[in-house]
A and B are shown apart, each in its own frame.
Chain A
Amino acid sequence: MARTLINVPQKAKRGEVIAIKTLISHVMETGFRHDNMGKAIPRDIITSFVCTYNGEEIFRAALHPAIAANPFITFHTVATESGTIAFRWTGDNGFSQDASAKITVG
């Protein structure tokens, strides 16, 4: 299981622009490197990140081999209603990790 760190404000005013920050542990092995014996190290990366707000997709990113280990993704959205902001990372070798945070909008 990968470790995640999520930063979503617990409270926001309706219509407020909020920053969301996410961090996940992942090697992001490029597939272009070789080990000490000259053997190719197979690619192992996260390929997709999706954020939903009460079920509706609000942000999506495609990830590629040039992205560093432990990808940090930050973006903004508008606080519209109370509920759940959910995150899913998927990638090579069946990798899938979920996380979520609650937000109260008043």
Chain B
Amino acid sequence: MSGPARLSIFAAPLLLAALVSAGAEIALNERRSAYDDMSRDNKAMQDDDTSNPGMLAVLDGEALWAAKAGASGKSCADCHGGAKASMKGVAARHPSFDASAGRPVNLEQRINTSRVQHQQASPFAYESKEMLALSAYVAMQSRGEPIAPPDDPRLKPFLDRGRAQFNQRQGQLNLSCGQCHDDNWGKSLAGNTVPQGHPTGYPIYRLEWQGLGSLQRRLRNCMIGMRAESYAYGAPEYVDMELYLMWRARGMKVETPAVRP
């Protein structure tokens, strides 16, 4: 439904893009969350846990955490105990390397690994109500924690790939992510402030979506806006991009569940 509107919004930077050359990464002390650009009302909505609609999903996630499921007959809590202690900082260091997959996995994939291998239950689909609720609940335990990508040499090639994708011009508009989010953040794009594009608040409650969505849903939105071909949910390309975004936001604080316009 939001497709056509989005395309026209994104078509505007064609001109703007022509004026800029490939830029550099944002200096660490200049980084800011899109939260800082939000209206007073939207900030208030995110700040108060009884007005933040993302908290409704967190309540669902809390119930799922305690629910027994699968052939193991165990709940997440049966193995991990209270999420407050056991899941603190976990979202802040994902994607992380998974030895059996031989590559980085993001938080959603990690939750599904636990669900399939340990709980012996069926995996949750990407963007399903359950996965969004559980990942919001797990990620909220890192709220206020600094993003801390693992210092793991095995991640290096994937991080490099994510960075290369971020700086690669693509799609019919021939734009790169970096042209908007490194070179033109803070400027106006058809009424929106172009943010630096940090992954600090995911899953987010987006007012335009009228619901919760994952980081990959957000990335799909940007890719559709660039008129580039988007990947399937969970595709390695997205996970590599997530890894780079987390590295780019290292030290910034987790806001989950954030509110965005």
Contact pick for A5, options B1, B56, B60, B210, CB 8 Å: B56
Q: A33-B1, A68-B210 are in contact. Are A21 and B56 (CB under 8 A)?
A: no
The residue on B at minimum CB distance from A7 is B50
B59 at the interface (CB under 8 A from A): yes
Flag if A70 contacts B50 (CB, 8 Å): no
Residues of A close to B50: CB separation below 8 A? 5-7, 21, 23
Shortest distance between the CB of B195 and any CB in chain A (Å): 22
A5 touches B211 (CB 8 A): no
Interface residues on A, range: 10 to 19
In the assembled complex, the Cα of A3 lies from the Cα of B60 at a distance in Å of 8
Closest B residue to A74 by CB, please name it: B51
Residues of B within 8 A of A69 (CB): 53, 210-211
Residues of B within 8 A of A27 (CB): 210
Contact of A72 among B1, B49, B53 (CB under 8 A): B53
A72 touches B59 (CB 8 A): no
Interface centre among A3, A6, A27, A33, by most chain B C-beta atoms within 10 angstroms, is A3
A77 located at the interface, meaning its Cβ lies under 8 Å from any Cβ of chain B in the complex: no
B252 at the interface (CB under 8 A from A): no
B207 within 8 A of A: yes
B260 to chain A, nearest CB (A): 14
Give the docked Cα–Cα distance between A7 and B55 (Å).
13
Q: What is the total of A-B residue contacts with beta carbons within 8 Å?
A: 40
Out of B1, B48, B53, B57, name the residue touching A21 (CB < 8 Å): B48
> In the complex, what residues of A have CB within 8 A of residue B55's CB?
5, 23
Digitize B42-66: 1 where CB-to-A-CB distance is under 8 Å, 0 elsewhere. Answer: 0001001111010111011000000
Question: What's the Cα separation between A68 and B50 when bound, in Å?
Answer: 16
Query: Roughly how many angstroms separate A3 CA and B55 CA in the complex, as a whole number?
Result: 9
Chain B nearest CB: distance from A30 CB in Å?
10
Residues of chain B within 8 A (CB-CB) of A21 are 48, 50-51
By the criterion CB–CB under 8 Å, are B51 and A72 in contact?
yes
What's the least CB distance linking A2 to chain B, in Å?
A: 8
Are A3 and B1 also in contact (CB < 8 A) when A21-B51, A70-B53 are? no
Minimum Cβ distance to chain A for residue B243 (Å): 32
Cβ contacts A to B, 8 pairs, < 8 Å? A3-B60, A5-B50, A5-B55, A7-B48, A21-B48, A25-B57, A69-B211, A72-B45
Apart from the given pairs A7-B50, A25-B56, A27-B210, 13 other A-B contacts in the complex at a CB distance below 8 Å: A3-B60, A5-B49, A5-B50, A5-B55, A23-B51, A23-B55, A23-B56, A24-B56, A25-B53, A33-B1, A68-B210, A69-B53, A69-B210
